[in-house]
């Protein structure tokens, strides 16, 4: 043990060491770049919140703002052409809303063949033995596809108070039901939907029913 000049033992408490967390930089306005940046930003913010929970630091004091994460040339163009206000007047709320709108919009207003899209990309990973983990992975993959293709306005979960929430939820459940595997489970869920129609319009009810039925 270490001692001070008087020979007394120094009681020290090791402080947690945190890696330097760099915020992701946004240098393009295309949808793919934005979707990737949003995912990285979520991870960055989660790490900062975790650090604050341990150290007691104020999140607002150490997190890098969205504004300061955007390359100056992109910020200037967004301010002028998208937000139509001086760059100095643009805040994080403005930028967050603009990014969300862009990520949620169909690329070049082109609506893909959604049946084919999800048939090609949405798979239930049957190699995952834990039933609930498998179902969760399936739903996460579904939302990743939705995000990647700018389909949030059509298939995003969103908020219940939004005008087209019910329609979005029905379509979400329809596509999720259609791509269930194995086929035996899919048929079981189709039969269950007759007796329990809520699973055709509520993705939480569908998730819970899948977790319950998948092991049977």
Question: 84-88, 160-164, 194-198: which range is least confident on average?
Answer: 160-164
Question: How many structural domains compose the chain?
Answer: 2
Residues 100 and 117 in one domain: no
| β-sheet bridge partners, residue 3 | 9
Eight-state DSSP code of residue 199: G
pLDDT at position 152, please? 83
Does residue 7 sit within a domain? Answer: no
Residue 206 has pLDDT above 90, yes or no: yes
Residue 9 has pLDDT above 60, yes or no: no
Does residue 21 sit within a domain? Answer: no
Residue 49 has pLDDT above 80, yes or no: yes
Answer for the pair 24, 37: CB distance below 8 angstroms, yes or no: yes
Does residue 188 sit within a domain? Answer: yes
How far, in Å, CA of 49 to CA of 42, rounded? 11
DSSP code per residue over 111-159: ---HHHHHHHH----TT--SHHHHHHHHHHHHHHHHHHTT-HHHH----
Residue 105 has pLDDT above 80, yes or no: no
Residues 132 and 174 in one domain: yes
Answer for the pair 16, 55: CB distance below 8 angstroms, yes or no: yes
Q: What is the mean pLDDT of residues 182-189?
A: 95
Given 54, 84, 104, the domain boundary residue is: 104
Given 104, 119, 146, the domain boundary residue is: 104
Instruction: Look at the alpha carbons of 156, 162, 168, 170 in this order and tell me if their dihedral is positive or negative.
Output: positive
Q: Which domain holds residue 77?
A: 31-104
What's the first-to-final CA gap in the chain, in angstroms? 59
Instruction: Look at the alpha carbons of 140, 104, 79, 34 in this order and tell me if their dihedral is positive or negative.
Output: positive
> Shortest CA distance to 103 belongs to which of 203, 27, 29?
29
pLDDT at position 102, please? 86
Between residues 140 and 160, the one the model is more confident about: 140
pLDDT at position 109, please? 55
Question: In this predicted model, what pLDDT tens digit does every residue of 122-147 receive, in sequence order?
Answer: 999 999 999 999 999 999 999 999 98
């Amino acid at each position: 043990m270490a001692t001070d000049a008087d020979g007394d033992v120094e009681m020290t408490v090791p402080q947690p060491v945190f890696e330097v967390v760099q915020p992701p930089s946004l240098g393009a306005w295309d949808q793919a770049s934005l979707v990737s940046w949003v995912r990285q930003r979520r991870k960055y913010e989660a790490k900062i919140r975790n650090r604050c929970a341990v150290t007691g630091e104020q999140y607002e004091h150490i997190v890098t703002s969205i504004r300061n994460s955007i390359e100056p040339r992109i910020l200037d163009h967004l301010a002028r052409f998208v937000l139509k206000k001086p760059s100095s007047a643009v805040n994080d709320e403005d930028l967050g809303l603009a990014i969300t709108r862009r990520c949620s919009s169909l690329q070049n207003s082109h609506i893909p063949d959604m049946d084919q899209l999800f048939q090609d990309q949405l798979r239930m990973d049957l190699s995952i033995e834990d039933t609930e983990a498998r179902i969760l992975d399936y739903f996460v993959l579904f939302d990743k596809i939705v995000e990647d293709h700018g389909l949030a306005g059509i298939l995003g979960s969103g908020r219940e108070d939004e005008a087209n929430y019910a329609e979005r939820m029905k379509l979400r459940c329809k596509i999720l039901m259609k791509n269930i595997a194995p086929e035996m489970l899919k048929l079981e869920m189709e039969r269950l939907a007759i007796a329990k129609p809520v699973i055709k319009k509520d993705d939480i009810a569908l998730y819970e029913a899948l977790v319950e039925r998948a092991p049977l």
